Amino acid sequence: TQAEPLVLSRRSDSGKVQILTLNRPKALNALSTPLFDVLNVELEKADADPEVRAIVLTGGDKVFAAGADIKEMKDKTFSEAYSTNFLGSWAKLATIKKPIVGAVAGYALGGGCELALMTDILVASEKATFGQPEITLGIIPGGGGTQRLVKTIGKARAMDLTLTNRKITGKEAYDWGLAARLVPADQSVTEEAVKIAEGIAGFGALAAQAGKEAVNAAGELPLSEGLRFERRLFQALFATADQKEGMAAFAEKRKPTWKHE
Ligand code: HXC
């Protein structure tokens, strides 16, 4: 019998949202290298497909991911890790142009928390558990956690998670600004994430791409450069059909029909 794919990929009913589900339930979706290879292929396919306007990344409604695969890592030597650039493939997700909505229920630990941090809009269940337990294994976060947590929730809280193995709930993650939306424990985070992604998919694709690019630039650029970058992108959108359509539709009191060009 064929092995179950490590990442399930399906299209939403509207055909505009690609839903990627981490699928190693028996290992609590531990993020192995083979799983990441499949995830990266699916992300690239979705990014390249003009029908797809937004992506949902979920672990399902029980667990997001309990971290990088400890059994895969445990015997690795430095030279193996270094020569293969171990975990380097995780960087792919941050290069995807289309908006990615993350949906976290259950554990988002270690690399799972870091993966969640790489999504653009994070939806958390009240019953989610976020944490960076790497210190309990004699390592530190390696998927961007130390850097992205500081930018997202500040140094004090990032240090607390990294050094004490403190776990926080979905509610705390929401209150701290790590998650953008909070979903009651009895509701599906995946369904909520798909709704949000469908909303984005209902707008012009170029504006969505530009909005994501501009917000992300804030993490990289000094303010004056970020403001210049934003203004240039803003001005550039006046060359698009969607800007003409969006503003004409407003003036004519009708719904816009986006051309995505
Ligand atoms: C490999 C894992 C795993 C992981 C769970 N499993 N987490 N396998 N890597 N990260 C496996 C278990 O070995 C077990 O397999 C099965 O999933 C179910 O897990 P249990 O431990 O039996 O479940 P439970 O008692 O409910 O405890 C849940 C848990 C615990 C608290 C989440 O599994 C746990 O502490 N996991 C490790 C969390 C962690 O330390 N994450 C950080 C990893 S380091 P078997 O075969 O026994 O049934 C990391 C570094 C990132 O992420 C670096 C850069 C990205």
**ipTM value greater than 0.95:** yes
- CA atoms of 213 and 84, how far apart (whole Å): 29
Verdict on whether the full-model pTM lies above 0.90:
yes
120-140 average pLDDT score: 98
Please give the pLDDT value at position 4. 87
Q: Is residue 63 predicted with pLDDT exceeding 70?
A: yes
The 10s digit of each residue's pLDDT in 68-126 is 999 999 999 999 999 999 999 999 999 999 999 999 999 999 999 999 999 999 999 99
Each residue's pLDDT tens digit, 156-193: 999 999 999 999 999 999 999 999 999 999 999 999 99
Supply the residues annotated as catalytic.
68, 111, 114, 134
pLDDT averaged over the chain?
Answer: 97
Task: Please return the burial class of 16, using the count of CB atoms within 10 Å of its CB with bins 0-12, 13-18 and 19+.
Answer: middle
Q: Which atom of ligand 1 has the smallest separation from the CA of 114? A: 55
The answer on pLDDT for 37 being more than 80 is yes
Q: Edge-to-edge strand order for the sheet containing 100-104?
A: 7-11, 17-22, 54-58, 100-104, 121-125, 181-183
Closest CA to ligand 1's atom 41:
67
Supply the pLDDT for residue 108: 98
Ligand 1 centroid to residue 111 C-alpha, Å: 11
Q: How far is ligand 1, taken at its centre, from the CA of residue 18, in Å?
A: 27
Residues with CB under 6 A from ligand 1: 27-28, 30, 66-71, 87, 90, 107, 109-111, 114, 133-134, 137, 141-143
Band of the pLDDT at 207, cuts 50, 70, 90?
A: very high
Can you tell me the distance from the alpha carbon of 22 to that of 82, in angstroms, rounded to the nearest whole number? 26
CA–centroid distance, 221 to ligand 1, in Å, is 36
